[in-house]
Amino acid sequence: MSKPFSQACANNQTIILDVLIPIFEYKKYALEVGSGTGQHGVFFARNMPHLSWQLSDRAQNHAGINLWVDDFPSPNLLPPILLDVLQDPWPISAYDAVYSSNTAHIMPWEAVVAMFSGIGKSLLSGGIFCLYGPMKYMGVLEAQSNVAFDTMLRQQNPCQGIREFWNINRLATQAGLELMQDNAMPANNRLIVWQKN
Ligand SMILES: C[S@@+](CC[C@H](N)C(=O)[O-])C[C@H]1O[C@@H](n2cnc3c(N)ncnc32)[C@H](O)[C@@H]1O
């Protein structure tokens, strides 16, 4: 098997890191939900050595993630654990940081609901959740690239699609998370930050 590669991750990892560094400065244990190829986790762990970075995903992505871990090991990078957000309870708890990118528009809505519920239970008080990806505001996708992406996603799978920010933020509120930041990112993405009360 060759190592999986995401060009998007290669493009966005530095600019995401710039936002994460001050937010995660005093955090110790981060969980990544839906690590995908593993590229983000490998890069963020190397560049935030004070933070233990726990990779996770469904089973089908573990072999690829492990190839990245093997090639770029860090003492603070923890091999992937099996985490499907729909499982209840989650196999882990007590993180003070959670990161997830490009997951909310890929998972069916019931899984997005489960992701926020699980994060609400797994985060310590004062812990931070950062969610990266495209977002819709008041039913509107301003960028034509996001309109096309949303159409493609829904044609591919009607359960997928770019989510409405206020629906996402409602899930966060229900999970005990308070909105701290909504950062505009390149390529019409957002990096949204919540803190557990
Ligand atoms: C588009 S990929 C994004 C991967 C990576 N975070 C990135 O930014 O490139 C979507 C990820 O969501 C994960 N995912 C989808 N449904 C999931 C579920 N029910 N539980 C956990 N992860 C899930 C997939 O396995 C995949 O890793």
Neighbours of 6 (CB within 10 A): 16
Residue to mutate, 42, 58, 116, ligand 1, most ligand atoms under 8 Å from C-beta: 58
Give pLDDT tens digits for 57-107. Answer: 999 999 999 999 999 999 999 999 999 999 999 987 789 999 999 999 999
Cα dihedral sign for 151, 152, 154, 160?
Answer: negative
Dist CA 175 CA 58 (whole Å) = 22
Radius of gyration of the chain (CA): 16
Give pLDDT tens digits for 115-148. Answer: 999 999 999 999 999 999 999 999 999 999 999 9
Q: What is the mean pLDDT of residues 38-67?
A: 98
Please report how the helices 39-47 and 62-71 are oriented relative to each other, as an axis angle in degrees rounded to 10. Answer: 30
| Ligand 1 neighbours (beta carbon < 6 A) | 6, 9, 34-36, 40, 57-58, 61, 83-86, 101-103, 106-107, 111
Q: SS3 of 131, please? A: strand
Q: SS3 of 33, please? A: coil
Q: What is the mean pLDDT of the chain?
A: 97
Residue 39 Cα to ligand 1 midpoint, Å, equals 13
CATH topology of domain 7-196: Rossmann fold (3.40.50)
Dist CA 186 CA 169 (whole Å) = 21
